[in-house]
Amino acid sequence: MIKFFLMVNKQGQTRLSRYYEHVEINKRTMLEAEVIKNCLSRSKDECSFIEYKDFKLVYRQYAALFIVVGIDQTENEMAVYELIHNFVEVLDKYFSRVVSETLNLL
Amino acid sequence: GVVPISNLIRTIRTARTQAEEREMIQKECAAIRSSFREEDNTYRCRNVAKLLYMHMLGYPAHFGQLECLKLIASQKFTDKRIGYLGAMLLLDERQDVHLLMTNCIKNDLNHSTQYVQGLALCTLGCMGSSEMCRDLAGEVEKLLKTSNSYLRKKAALCAVHVIRKVPELMEMFLPATKNLLNEKNHGVLHTSVVLLTEMCERSPDMLAHFRKLVPQLVRILKNLIMSGYSPEHDVSGISDPFLQVRILRLLRILGRNDDDSSEAMNDILAQVATNTETSKNVGNAILYETVLTIMDIKSESGLRVLAINILGRFLLNNDKNIRYVALTSLLKTVQTDHNAVQRHRSTIVDCLKDLDVSIKRRAMELSFALVNGNNVRGMMKELLYFLDSCEPEFKADCASGIFLAAEKYAPSKRWHIDTIMRVLTTAGSYVRDDAVPNLIQLITNSVEMHAYTVQRLYKAILGDYSQQPLVQVASWCIGEYGDLLVSGQCEEEEPIQVTEDEVLDILESVLISNMSASVTRGYALTAIMKLSTRFTCTVNRIKKVVSIYGSSIDVELQQRAVEYNALFKKYDHMRPALLERMPVMEKVTTNGPAEIVQTNGETETAVLETKPPPSGLQPANQVTETDPGYAGFLFPTGIPSITAYNKNGLKIDFTFERSNTNPSVTVITIQASNSTELDMTDFVFQAAVPKTFQLQLLSPSSSVIPAFNSGTITQVIKVLNPQKVSDSKKNC
């Protein structure tokens, strides 16, 4: 199950957030800060899946923006990784110029 | 007028600090609040949109909840759209107002415009409470049967939510599922598979019922694989990989524990496994799901081996994501398909050198699972190298794993000791506390390796005595086998030349060092004490050390030192026996930390109490059970009387008789006399016998032994030896 879907930039500013299970609003900001910290500390040699508390984070970086999806044990990490890109391509279709520039899409 | 949301976002982005942003938000919230108060219909939608954006940034927006309800009730689609979105973000069953939505949703589920119906279905399926779901389930079920695929797919997902909230309603959706899979529309297919999955996971009856869908699912999957390019569904050359993954997961649930279903899906699984393009992530995502399904159902062995080989190939892939999922999956299957996984052992071991922390951890766990009697030498080499170079967070687990594996599969005692040494010197400070007693027991029981072990341990701490577990084990060994160390008896390697003083130097350094933990100091002090019976030239030095620590601030050390001092002074005759070599220990449990039957090389000192005399009378001595001077006092009948004890004026004589009634019982009569000038008061005689014997002490004649041998205390002791054969029987 997908628990949350985030778009956070490198400075830790949330650009998009969607929670599929109730999380207190003040806990959200904490979670988003921690999640981006985890993603920023990863090197190029490390995989796109991070174990975080009782979630797994699947993340993809597009220019200065991180898209991070929190999942539980029942999900296929690689399918979710693919889903993120699918989402980006949908955004690109609808908001073409803005998205291409922001996310550095080819 | 009221600014549109795009303006707001642009403004907020100009804020340079968190405080500045907060100020902007507060200003805008105030404006929105007054606009709400004015009941402004025109801009309500715009204001709620801004509120939702601010909520997303982490600011409270509860005052907008009612406004969302008003928007939902509006006739304009643009209003409804924001209203329903707001409801999904701000409302749930925690707020009572949410129930006010129910009627609106009901109406909108029957709206003439499908997009409005869609909004209602989405919202209900997202935040609907149990009450709402109960009220509206019928509407959802109706829409599940519609031919409009846009609505049908949303109805299916809404039904999933309804079932989660009110499981009893599951039955009602059963008829509608009948021809869900006949759809061509992928959206409907996808959400239908999700609905079927939810029902099968919740109800064994449903699961049994839906097994008949396996052939149809197999067919759909086959079409997806075989069909040509479909622009609508293509993702990097694969047709609707998301649907494929869903179907594979449902097949997994249906095939689990069911031979027929498993057989029906065997071919398609093999086909997907062999034909899927592996150059991109998409293909690998499908392969991964396929492997999970193969391993979970009752597949034939050929298929299982195929799956594990796929995982093995994944391990060699450049893509770290794939390596990660491969290791995770192999870890799940290593118990059931051990031999197949063994074939990939070298690849798995290579992953120990990966740069990714999660991959390394899995590779380590998997490596330990694969160690057996045949590969233990090679595997240990790799794991010891890993222990050397890995991050600190791994070292404790790795060390424990190595100890366990070494214990199970050590090819020789020497190898075992060497391996332990290597771990202690490499990761000595990360070794868990429970490892120390285990290692001590292991060393004690490897009798022929004592000299070698103590020599190696001595050399190890000579340079560095900061790693506590290492120092503890080393101290204990030196205390036990110090005599072997100085006499240069080592056979396994070149014996070192070391003097008694040098050994004491290192132990004293441990005592003094502020790197040493209190426990470690205890080990060192006891070791020094033990050496008093093993060393010949340095006993005075040992006495001195022990007496110094009698005034240590550390209470534990102080107590030990005081007791050891007592051993030197009053009870010197008992010292050799008390500090004897430890015998081989029995293990109480075999898994995990073993409980040692005896204490860790610290012999219980006999507690010899002397009671202070009430008024100047000489205190009596209590003879206790553990007094080694009295061990083994039972002689067969016919032995003459003996003087069992004669010291400090106290004399005790034993006379022996055989019991008339029971030949196994020996009756000992003790007589205690006192040649000192003062009476001995509070005299108590105690005795101990081996376990198989039984002992009975009858009451003594008195507890005072008068001075100047003017009287005696008599006491009878009966000892039963059940194994004793009577004389008459012996001669048969």
Bridge partners of B464? none
d(CA B472, CA B319): 45
Is B722 a domain residue?
yes
CA dihedral A75, A78, A81, A86 (to 10 degrees): -100
Contact B321 A77 (CB under 8 A): yes
Is B346 a domain residue?
no
Chain A residue nearest residue B21, CA to CA: A13
With a cut of 50, list the residues of chain B below it in pLDDT: 589-636, 725-732
- B472, B602: one domain: no
Is B485 a domain residue?
yes
- B560, B685: one domain: no
- B689, B602: one domain: yes
- Asked if A97 is an interface residue toward chain B (Cβ–Cβ < 8 A), one would say no
Q: How far is B300 from chain A (nearest CA, A)?
A: 24
What is the average per-residue pLDDT within A21-27? 88
- B619, B565: one domain: no
Using DSSP bridges, classify how beta strands A2-9 and A65-71 pair: parallel, antiparallel or unpaired: antiparallel
The residue out of B578, B612, B633 marking a domain boundary is B578
Residue indicated by tokens 């110090």? B482
The residue out of B517, B547, B578 marking a domain boundary is B578
pLDDT tens per residue across span A54-73: 889 999 999 889 999 999 98
pLDDT of residue B695: 84
- Asked if A38 is an interface residue toward chain B (Cβ–Cβ < 8 A), one would say no
- B650, B696: one domain: yes
- B606, B697: one domain: yes
pLDDT of residue B1: 65
For B60, the closest of A25, A51, A86 (CB atoms) is: A25
Is B314 a domain residue?
no
For A76, the closest of B58, B289, B357 (CB atoms) is: B289
Q: What is the largest CA-CA distance in chain B?
A: 125
Q: How far is A30 from chain B (nearest CA, A)?
A: 10
Structure-block tokens of residue B103: 């009627």
Residues of A in contact with B323 (CB under 8 A): 47
Angle between the B77-90 and B114-127 helix axes, to the nearest 10 degrees?
10
Q: How far is B566 from chain A (nearest CA, A)?
A: 56
pLDDT of residue B248: 98
Contact A79 B359 (CB under 8 A): no
- Return the CATH number at B711: 2.60.40.1230
CA angle, corner B70, sides to B65 and B75, nearest 5? Answer: 145
Residue indicated by tokens 């609707």? B240
What is the average per-residue pLDDT within A16-20? 93
User: What single string gives the DSSP state of each residue in A52-72?
Assistant: ETTEEEEEEEETTEEEEEEE-
Contact A82 B323 (CB under 8 A): no
Q: List B residues 459-488 in contact with A (Cβ-Cβ < 8 A).
A: none
Is B189 a domain residue?
no
Structure-block tokens of residue A95: 């908001």
Contact B230, A71 (CB under 8 A): no
| Of B532, B538, B534, B452, nearest in space to B501 by CA | B538
Structure-block tokens of residue B690: 């081996």
- B623, B552: one domain: no
Is B712 a domain residue?
yes
Count the neighbouring beta carbons within 10 Å of the beta carbon of residue B244.
Answer: 23
Is B83 a domain residue?
no
Residues of B in contact with A22 (CB under 8 A): 92, 94
- B573, B440: one domain: yes
What is the average per-residue pLDDT within A13-37? 91
- B616, B723: one domain: yes
The backbone torsions φ and ψ at residue B579, rounded to the nearest 5 degrees and listed phi first, read: -100, 20
d(CA A105, CA B360): 32
Is B709 a domain residue?
yes
Contact A28 B60 (CB under 8 A): no
Structure-block tokens of residue B381: 């080499």
pTM greater than the 0.95 cutoff: no
- Asked if A83 is an interface residue toward chain B (Cβ–Cβ < 8 A), one would say yes
For A81, the closest of B281, B357, B359 (CB atoms) is: B281
Residue indicated by tokens 């699972």? B369
Contact B221, B248 (CB under 8 A): yes
- Asked if B285 is an interface residue toward chain A (Cβ–Cβ < 8 A), one would say yes
Q: How far is A99 from chain B (nearest CA, A)?
A: 16
Residue B709's domain spans which residues?
595-731
The domain tally of chain B equals 2
Q: Which sign does the torsion angle of CA B152, B157, B160, B166 carry?
A: negative
Structure-block tokens of residue B658: 């055989």
Q: Which amino acid is at B467?
A: Q
A3 in helix, strand or coil?
strand
- Asked if A79 is an interface residue toward chain B (Cβ–Cβ < 8 A), one would say yes
The residue out of B523, B552, B578 marking a domain boundary is B578
pLDDT of residue B622: 37
pLDDT of residue B619: 33
Q: How far is B56 from chain A (nearest CA, A)?
A: 6
- Contacts of B376-384 with CB under 8 Å at 24 or more apart are B376/B405, B376/B406, B376/B409, B376/B410, B376/B411, B377/B411, B377/B415, B379/B345, B379/B349, B379/B405, B380/B405, B380/B406, B380/B419, B382/B349, B382/B352, B383/B352, B384/B419, B384/B422, B384/B423, B384/B426
For A76, the closest of B58, B288, B358 (CB atoms) is: B288
- B568, B602: one domain: no
pLDDT tens per residue across span B137-160: 999 999 999 999 999 999 999 999
- B516, B630: one domain: no
Contact A86 B284 (CB under 8 A): no
- B572, B603: one domain: no
Q: What is the CA radius of gyration of chain B?
A: 42
pLDDT of residue B261: 95
